[in-house]
Homo-oligomer: A and B are copies of this chain.
């Protein structure tokens, strides 16, 4: 590997600014649980720790606010978002609305090459189900499946809305600790959705997606209420 001529592919290199790098670091830290819910995010402390000024940290925090990972109180600063059971239920109800509409549109007039991508993503889900992969990887693989659907729907608004709640969703799942006992079972629950899409059966796809998300909602909220009894989030 030559370092001067990284000849590989000449795509545009990381033109990602400092703000986005800070945002990525912060979101990783929050989703992975290093920063607990309710934790205060002092601009000065973060800036000093990352070796930057407060300005990029502040902008990054506002970005994360839109992603629902942090809340902002005027003259008080940023705090890691905490969830109530009701908020969590509302989140999943909203996901159902968005993703059902997305999958219907995908069948109606969406990109046909989405189906192979979905099948490939199910393979990925099985691969990361093997031991040796941490939970964050599994959650992100799961989210990627749903992202593909919203992306293939054809209306960019679905993808944009999905991205807005994606990190929140990841965070809530990570807060719980695990979704299914067997990650392979989680991977299999995606199969009926793809089959219905492939068949062009919109009602079946809707039902499959609804069932998939509704089961997830039940599991997450139930587990969340159980956890909430132990330690207040």
Chain A residues in the interface with B (C-beta under 8 A): 15, 17, 55, 58-59, 62-63, 66, 74, 90-91, 93-94, 97-98, 101, 155-158, 161, 165
**Smallest CB-CB separation from A161: which chain B residue?**
B161
Interface SS majority for chain A = helix
Q: Which residues of chain B come closer than 8 Å to A157, judged between CB atoms?
A: 90-91, 93-94, 165
Could you tell me if B74 and A15 are in contact, using CB atoms closer than 8 angstroms?
yes
A140 CA / B174 CA spacing, docked (Å): 41
CA distance A62 to B58 in the complex (A): 12
A-B contact pairs, 23 of them (CB 8 A): A15-B74, A17-B74, A55-B55, A58-B59, A59-B59, A59-B62, A62-B62, A62-B63, A66-B66, A90-B155, A90-B156, A90-B157, A91-B157, A93-B155, A93-B157, A94-B155, A94-B157, A94-B161, A97-B97, A97-B98, A97-B101, A157-B165, A161-B161
Q: When chains A and B are docked, how far (Å) is the Cα of A63 from the Cα of B63?
A: 10
- In the assembled complex, the CB of A14 is this many whole angstroms from the nearest CB of chain B, namely 12
Alpha-carbon gap, A59 to B62, bound state (A): 9
- In the assembled complex, how far is the CB of residue A155 from the closest CB belonging to chain B, in whole angstroms? 5
